[in-house]
């Protein structure tokens, strides 16, 4: 028990950020990451600001060419969303593979981002979807590209008094698709040994890749953008040889570590496999024959 | 630490408490309400033994702060049936040999109930996914799945 800890349960974003402006707080939503080490880090948490009563943080909607996901939206709400199933099935897949039904019922997409684990599942899917996040504090509202915010495991560029409020994703065009792959020690309740999201936009007439985005988790201190492989594929003909080569480039470029979930060698080998699998899956959705 | 006043409904009865900010829902249920059916297996959201149904959804009660349950409705295993009046899932678990040590059972049954409430006719894959947040060290799951299937086939889980 910490002597000075207080608990607040605001109903609006502005109340929440007001609290954060003059106190050291921890924004607490589903608690599925925060509670794991809760008792060990009680002294560092400051006051708890519970976000689960803030209705405006919850919800998925489309406005013109942007999809908006409230940061307080649970993974299960994302899994249940018809709108996202149609437009971002790889994001839905990533949310579906988080934890367990119980964890998905409480854990939020904002929390998955803010916790900044390199093994986060929704993050690679969001990065390849070109997601930006909105950050609100008492003084300002700003936006950052999601791929820019991760500094090191558990650390982001988000200030302590800033609240993630909204995740914005451009609506996907017809000739584009994505895929999410996760490898874990179990089919559920597993933190990724390695995961991968890809997004490809193709030119059907030219039969080549117009845009390629590849992001892997658990191979680097932060979600890893496989830029060299992406650049290799752009403009190349859509065939298995090129996809295989791109996957090889990823394997050569990454420098994973040994940790409690897996070895560097395993991650190296499997990265090549899942990148290839993900690209092929995305192309299959576009009904491209390889 | 200022206490937080909360009011919640547990198994259809309303309770009011002043709770410490760091009290977990699992501790509120077990220690303040004496409802020992909800177990703590890991305290980390990794095993599901602490599963309860909160506002219509299963949650790991070791990951919910009691203070966050203000205004909520919680169902624990004790709210599901009694020795004289077993819930169909409880009956099926007994009939199918789906209970060995019993430690996972309360959480497992609540996950099964939540699954069937949302999806009355699940496939075997859907059943497995529905209980994927509950670890059992004894049974190897097949009898549990059979018990859930039996209840689904009989068309009754509420």
What gap in Å lies between CA B86 and CA A169, rounded to an integer? 48
Q: Which H/E stretch holds residue A92?
A: helix A89-96
Residue ranges of E strands in chain A: 7-8, 25-28, 47-50, 60-63, 66-70, 132-136, 141-145, 150-152, 155-156, 163-170, 176-183, 194-203, 208-217, 224-225
Whether this prediction's pTM lies above 0.80 is answered by yes
Tracing tokens 């986060």 back to the chain, one arrives at: A120
Tokens of B11: 């198994």
β-sheet bridge partners, residue B9 = B14, B73
Per CB-CB distance under 8 Å, the chain B contacts of A30 are: 63
Strand pairing of A47-50 and A7-8? parallel
Chain B contacts to A (CB-CB under 8 A): 1-2, 4, 20-22, 24, 44-48, 51, 57-60, 62-65, 67-68, 70, 111, 114-115, 129-130, 132-135
Cα angle value A237/A240/A241 (rounded, 5°): 80
What gap in Å lies between CA B105 and CA B134, rounded to an integer? 9
Give the N- to C-terminal CA distance of chain B in Å, as an integer.
41
Tokens of A284: 């299959």
β-sheet bridge partners, residue A225 = A215
Strand pairing of B73-75 and B4-10? parallel
What gap in Å lies between CA A280 and CA B12, rounded to an integer? 51
Contact B1 A9 (CB under 8 A): no
Phi, psi of A246, rounded to the nearest 5 degrees:
-60, -45
Per CB-CB distance under 8 Å, the chain A contacts of B59 are: 102, 105-106
Q: Which H/E stretch holds residue B146?
A: helix B142-154
3-state secondary structure of A70: strand
Burial A46-76 (b: 16+ CB within 10 A, else e): bbbbbbbbbeebbebeeeeeebbbbbbbbbb
Q: What is the pLDDT along chain A (290 residues), one digit of tens a residue?
A: 566 789 999 999 999 999 999 999 999 999 999 999 888 888 888 999 999 999 999 999 999 999 999 999 999 999 999 999 999 999 999 999 999 999 999 999 999 999 999 999 999 999 999 999 999 999 999 999 999 999 999 999 999 999 999 999 999 999 999 999 999 999 999 999 999 999 999 999 999 999 999 999 999 999 999 999 999 999 999 999 999 999 999 999 999 999 999 999 999 999 999 999 999 999 999 999 98
Phi, psi of B5, rounded to the nearest 5 degrees:
-75, 130
For residue A270, the Cα-to-chain-centroid distance in whole angstroms is: 20
- Lowest-pLDDT range of A2-6, A129-133, B41-45, B153-157: B153-157
Residue B158 has pLDDT above 60, yes or no: no
User: Which residues contact residue A227 at a Cβ distance below 8 angstroms, ignoring those fewer than 6 apart?
Assistant: none
CA distances A163 to A46, A56, A65, B101, Å, are 15, 13, 24, 45
Note whether A290 contacts B: Cβ–Cβ < 8 A: no
What gap in Å lies between CA A215 and CA A11, rounded to an integer? 35
Contact A100 B132 (CB under 8 A): yes
What gap in Å lies between CA A113 and CA A27, rounded to an integer? 13
ipTM value: 0.96
Q: In degrees to the nearest 10, what's the CA dihedral of A258, B44, A197, A78?
A: 180
What gap in Å lies between CA A243 and CA A82, rounded to an integer? 31
Q: Which string of DSSP letters, residue by residue, matches A265-290?
A: HHHHHHHHHHHHHHHHHHHHHTT---
What gap in Å lies between CA A79 and CA B13, rounded to an integer? 32
Residue A72 to chain B, least CA–CA distance (Å): 14
Number of CB atoms found within 10 A of residue A145's CB = 11
Mean pLDDT (whole number) for B66-86 = 96
Q: Which residue in chain A has the smallest CA separation from B56?
A: A105
pLDDT of residue A1: 52
What gap in Å lies between CA A228 and CA A257, rounded to an integer? 20
């Amino acid at each position: 028990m910490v002597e000075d800890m207080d608990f607040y349960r605001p109903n609006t974003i502005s109340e929440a950020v007001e609290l954060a402006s003059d106190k050291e707080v921890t924004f607490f939503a589903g608690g599925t990451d925060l509670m794991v080490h809760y008792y060990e880090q009680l002294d560092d948490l400051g006051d708890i600001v519970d976000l689960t009563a803030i209705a405006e943080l919850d919800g998925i909607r489309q406005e013109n060419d942007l999809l908006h996901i409230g940061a307080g939206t649970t993974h299960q709400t994302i899994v249940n969303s018809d709108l996202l199933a149609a437009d971002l099935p790889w994001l839905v897949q990533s949310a579906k593979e988080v934890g367990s039904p119980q964890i998905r019922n409480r854990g939020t997409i904002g929390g998955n981002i803010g916790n900044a684990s390199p093994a986060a599942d929704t993050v690679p899917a969001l990065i390849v979807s070109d997601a930006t996040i909105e950050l609100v504090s008492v003084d300002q509202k700003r936006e950052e590209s999601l791929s820019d915010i991760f500094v090191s495991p558990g650390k982001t560029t988000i200030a302590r008094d800033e609240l993630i409020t909204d995740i914005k994703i451009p609506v996907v065009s017809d000739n584009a698709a994505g895929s999410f792959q996760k490898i874990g020690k179990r089919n559920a309740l597993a933190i990724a040994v390695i995961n991968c999201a890809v997004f490809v936009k193709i030119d059907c007439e030219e039969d080549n890749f117009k845009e390629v985005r590849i992001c892997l988790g658990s191979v680097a201190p932060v979600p890893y953008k496989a830029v060299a492989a992406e650049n290799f594929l752009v403009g190349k003909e859509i065939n298995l040889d090129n996809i295989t080569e791109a996957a090889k480039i990823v394997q050569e470029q990454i420098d994973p570590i040994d940790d409690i979930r897996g070895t560097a060698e395993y991650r190296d080998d499997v990265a090549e496999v899942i990148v290839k699998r993900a690209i092929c899956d995305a192309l299959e959705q576009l009904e491209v024959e390889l | 630490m200022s206490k937080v006043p909360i009011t919640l409904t547990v198994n259809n009865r309303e309770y009011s408490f002043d709770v410490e900010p760091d009290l977990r829902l699992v501790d509120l249920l077990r220690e303040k309400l004496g409802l020992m059916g909800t177990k703590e297996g890991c305290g980390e959201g990794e095993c599901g033994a602490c599963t309860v149904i909160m506002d219509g959804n299963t949650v790991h009660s070791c990951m919910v702060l009691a203070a966050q349950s203000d205004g909520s409705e919680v169902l624990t295993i004790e709210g599901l049936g009694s020795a004289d009046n077993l819930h169909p899932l409880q009956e099926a678990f007994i009939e199918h040999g789906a209970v060995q040590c019993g430690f996972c059972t309360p959480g497992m049954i609540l996950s099964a109930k939540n699954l069937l409430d949302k999806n009355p006719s699940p496939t075997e894959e859907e059943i497995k996914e529905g209980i994927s947040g509950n670890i059992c060290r004894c049974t190897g799951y097949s009898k549990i799945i059979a018990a859930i299937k039996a209840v689904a086939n009989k068309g009754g889980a509420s």
